[in-house]
Amino acid sequence: RTSVHRLTSGQVVVDLQTAVKELVENALDAGATSVDITFRDSGVEAIEVKDNGKGIDEGDWEGIALKHHTSKLASFADLAAVQTLGFRGEALSSLCGVATLSMVTSTAATAPKGTTLSFTSAGACVPQKKVARERGTTVKVERLFEHLPVRRKELVKNAQRELGKALALLQAYALVNTGVRFEARNVTKGKTLVQLKTTASTSLRTAFSYIFSPKDLPSLLDLDLTIEVPTEKSVMKRLEDAADESTVIHVKGLISKPSTGHGRTAGNRQFFFINGRPFQPAKARRLRVAKAVNEVYKSFNANQFPCVVADFQLAPDAYDVNVSPDKRTIFLHSEGNLLAALKQELSRFFDPQQA
């Protein structure tokens, strides 16, 4: 039983980045305005995510790390319109299977007191002791993949690269969640290195300037596109209520002015989102969108790449995040049509004279 649990858990939490992603999404779902991420020994020893969200009520402790326990989805019908980042109730359960999970949590009713909770590998909760804690939750994941020797070895060997991937994802969350303060640090051999620090701000521009150089800001345009994407017939048939033959998508964010290229280095400053949910870096689907944007940009500024932050705002039934256990794959209906329409509108955005 336990080993089966460990194997299936390994499909939800596949690496350091997905572990961090699940913890940060939970903090955001809890309404946090401040999220502190601490990597110990680049995450190899532990990852801690501390938030000031609503905390977890005592009545929920028992269930939270059990498989498919979620407080976020009341019924199956909610799935199409899910607003929270999590909804499958698999992350904590999986983390128990692949690491040692513990928490401190406190709610408005209990603050300034909280309780430490530890969990068995099967997800059973063991309340420990009362401690001082303001409202919020700190989740600690120790020795990721400790019982999966091959994965563990990979993690240890590639610790720096894995940390880099996790930090890139945190940059994405920090950009798109402008109202939330983020801080990430790595503690190695007693030395603390701050890796990312933002303050809750009101604009994407400000958030961008916390993460990247403020000197870049004047060279960025506010991206604001409205694109109409014809819906493919096959998709129409599957969506019972699809009365419209097209979907309207807003694309909002920032993009380099065509006159100011950023060479190849801009590649690590390209962030794409669907309704505030980051596309995973280096994933095929994300790359197709990036490729479309880069192609258009290059037609105005040869051999240069833009910085880009783009959130695709679309109806929940126009995409599907529920296709893989780790929610990495976001499936866009009518993707070909979307990319074509995107290219056209982006060209027009850069050159309004264009018909």
- State the first-to-last Cα distance of the chain, in angstroms, to the nearest integer: 63
Residue placing its CB nearer to ligand ADP in the complex, 63 or 230: 63
CA of 344: how far to CAs of 19, 77, 143, 296, 352, in Å? 37, 35, 48, 8, 11
Residue placing its CB nearer to ligand ADP in the complex, 24 or 266: 24
Residue placing its CB nearer to Mg ion in the complex, 26 or 42: 26
Residue placing its CB nearer to ligand ADP in the complex, 139 or 341: 139
CA nearest 304: which of 350, 260, 349, 348? 260
Which of 35, 91, 172, 290 touches Mg ion by CB under 5 A? 91
Cα dihedral 55, 59, 62, 63 in deg (nearest 10) = -80
Q: Which two tokens stand for residue 266?
A: 């801009």
d(CA 118, CA 307): 43
The answer to whether residue 123 forms part of the interface with Mg ion (CB under 5 A) is no
CB of 92 to ligand ADP, least distance (A): 4
Out of Mg ion, ligand ADP, none, what residue 337 binds, judged by CB under 5 to 8 A for its kind, is none
The answer to whether residue 325 forms part of the interface with Mg ion (CB under 5 A) is no
Out of ligand ADP, Mg ion, none, what residue 98 binds, judged by CB under 5 to 8 A for its kind, is none
CB of 133 to ligand ADP, least distance (A): 12
Q: Which two tokens stand for residue 260?
A: 């100011």
CB of 72 to ligand ADP, least distance (A): 4
Residue placing its CB nearer to ligand ADP in the complex, 84 or 209: 84
Residue placing its CB nearer to ligand ADP in the complex, 70 or 121: 70
**Rule CB under 6 A: which residues touch ligand ADP?**
22, 26-27, 29-30, 51, 53, 55-56, 64, 69-72, 86-93, 137, 139
Question: How is the beta sheet containing 100-106 ordered, strand by strand?
Answer: 125-132, 113-119, 100-106, 136-142, 46-51, 34-40, 181-188, 191-197
The answer to whether residue 86 forms part of the interface with Mg ion (CB under 5 A) is yes
Residue at shortest CB range from ligand ADP: 86
Characterise 217 by phi-psi region: left (phi > 0), alpha (psi -120 to 50), beta (else): alpha
The answer to whether residue 26 forms part of the interface with Mg ion (CB under 5 A) is yes
Out of ligand ADP, Mg ion, none, what residue 145 binds, judged by CB under 5 to 8 A for its kind, is none
CA nearest 174: which of 209, 203, 198? 198
Contact 196, 170 (CB under 8 A): yes
**Of 90-98, 130-138, 139-147, 334-342: span binding Mg ion (CB under 5 A):** 90-98
- Helix orientation angle between 159-176 and 204-211, rounded to the nearest 10 degrees: 160
**Of 19-27, 135-143, 158-166, 216-224: span binding Mg ion (CB under 5 A):** 19-27
d(CA 98, CA 257): 45
Residues across the chain: 355
CB of 135 to ligand ADP, least distance (A): 10
- Residues of the shown chain interacting with Mg ion in the complex, contacts defined by CB under 5 A: 26, 86, 91
